[in-house]
Structure 1
Amino acid sequence: MKKLDITKYKADFMQKFAFDFKQWMSPAIRDYYSLFLKNAHYKRAHLLSWVKEYSVLENGRSVKVAQKPIQVSSEARELYLCLQSRIGDEVHVGEWLTISQNCVDQFANVTRDHQWLHNDVERAEKESPFKTTIAHGFLTLSLLPYLTDSVDASRPAYANAKMTVNYGLNQVRFPYPVKTGSVIRAHSRLIKVSPIKRGLEIEKEISVEIQGTRRPGCVAVSVVRVYF
């Protein structure tokens, strides 16, 4: 068997083994396993970013490859240094918010998603394993700007910024359903800050806590770009 074929066989085998192993786990352990893999991937990504900055010479020595520096303003530099000292810290805990049936119904009307699990209270009480209606996962996700206090114009997170842009989300998942009537709040942990042209790119892991429930309703990495 060719070397390439052996590599592909090993990769397919490991992928199938990992899938079967996760199916065997309980939901709670599966969440911890996913978190472990995510942290391992995060550390590997940091290692790879370090490796890309170096080249190996013939004698085995490694030297840093010169890269064109990114010019940032004094405001961006000041914020960068401040945030770098807080990498890994929980930087924000939001206020509690009650998810009412009216809120779920309004979201269903906007998105045209009227599944009975979300909107049919009587049927959910009889047939749903949760014995009540539940919020759409995307409803919880769409509330992140409010839950993280990112929409209050009177209290901007980055006062000196000219513009703040929601650049995207990474690794979104919904570990536990948010039942109608639940009270939720968001916890934000700073995980990465990178200089970009005219500003900074900031990544935070946001976990939506459900009051009285151990598992979160949503976990996502928010990517925001701040321009000065």
Structure 2
Amino acid sequence: MNKLVIGSFKEFEQYVGKELGTSEYLRITQDQINKFADATLDHQWIHTDPERAAVESPFKKTIAHGYLALSVIPYLWEQIAEINNIKMLINYGIEKLKFNQPVMVEDEVRLKVTLESLTDLRGISKAQLLAELEIKDNKKPAFIASIIFLYHFK
């Protein structure tokens, strides 16, 4: 996989409206789900109790928290693009988020990103990325959302 390397607003600008790439797959484990439950204090059984989920869940296994699926965006985004010459990156927002499909334990997910828009806000670059979290061997993505990052280029 070739990582996209961007060093300035002008370099970034040429990708508006284009797909930037797709990350490698990441397996979601029960250990990750349990640690996320601990961090967020969300221990709902559908996430953390494999025995109960096998009997009572319509999926017959545990599922990852929707916000856990969102939280892997930065890790997967770094596999797609390397943004250089920045002083700071700020996670600015998420728009039009729709969870389409649950991510089940041991599913493999990857991120596909298109640059929707890039705006120069007096020296700060506002990048709006269409992010789709694909689930291996599943036609429906886990979610689709517009992720907004602010890049402060040097």
Settle same-fold status: TM greater than 0.5.
yes
For the 8 Å contact 2:101–2:141, the answer to whether it is kept is yes
Unaligned runs of at least 5 residues, structure 1:
1-77
String of CA shifts for 1:84-137, please: whole Å, max 9, x gaps: 332221102111110000110010011110111101111111111111100000
For the 8 Å contact 2:8–2:85, the answer to whether it is kept is no
Deviation at 1:80, TM superposition (A): 3.5
Task: Give 1 or 2: higher helix fraction.
Answer: 1
String of CA shifts for 1:198-221, please: whole Å, max 9, x gaps: 221111011001000000012111
In the superposition, the TM-score normalised over structure 1's length comes to: 0.61
* 1:192 pairs with 2:121: no
Out of 41, 46, 55, which is 1:112 matched to?
41
Out of 64, 89, 96, which is 2:25 matched to?
96
Find the counterpart in structure 1 of residue 99 from structure 2.
174
SS in 2 for 1:134: coil
Out of 161, 175, 178, which is 2:86 matched to?
161
What is the letter of the counterpart of residue 172 of structure 1? L
Higher RCO, 1 vs 2 (CA within 8 Å, ≥6 residues apart): 2
Find the counterpart in structure 1 of residue 61 from structure 2.
132
What is the letter of the counterpart of residue 171 of structure 1? K
* 1:225 pairs with 2:150: yes
- Fraction of identical pairs, as percent: 34
Task: Give 1 or 2: higher strand fraction.
Answer: 2
What is the letter of the counterpart of residue 89 of structure 2? T
Deviation at 1:81, TM superposition (A): 3.5
In the superposition, the TM-score normalised over structure 2's length comes to: 0.89
- In 1, the alpha carbon distance for the partners of 2:61 and 2:41 equals 20
Unaligned runs of at least 5 residues, structure 2:
1-6
- In 1, the alpha carbon distance for the partners of 2:83 and 2:108 equals 28
Structure of greater Rg: 1
CA 1:170–1:131: 2 relative to 1, 3 Å:
same
SS in 1 for 2:43: coil
- In 2, the alpha carbon distance for the partners of 1:126 and 1:156 equals 42
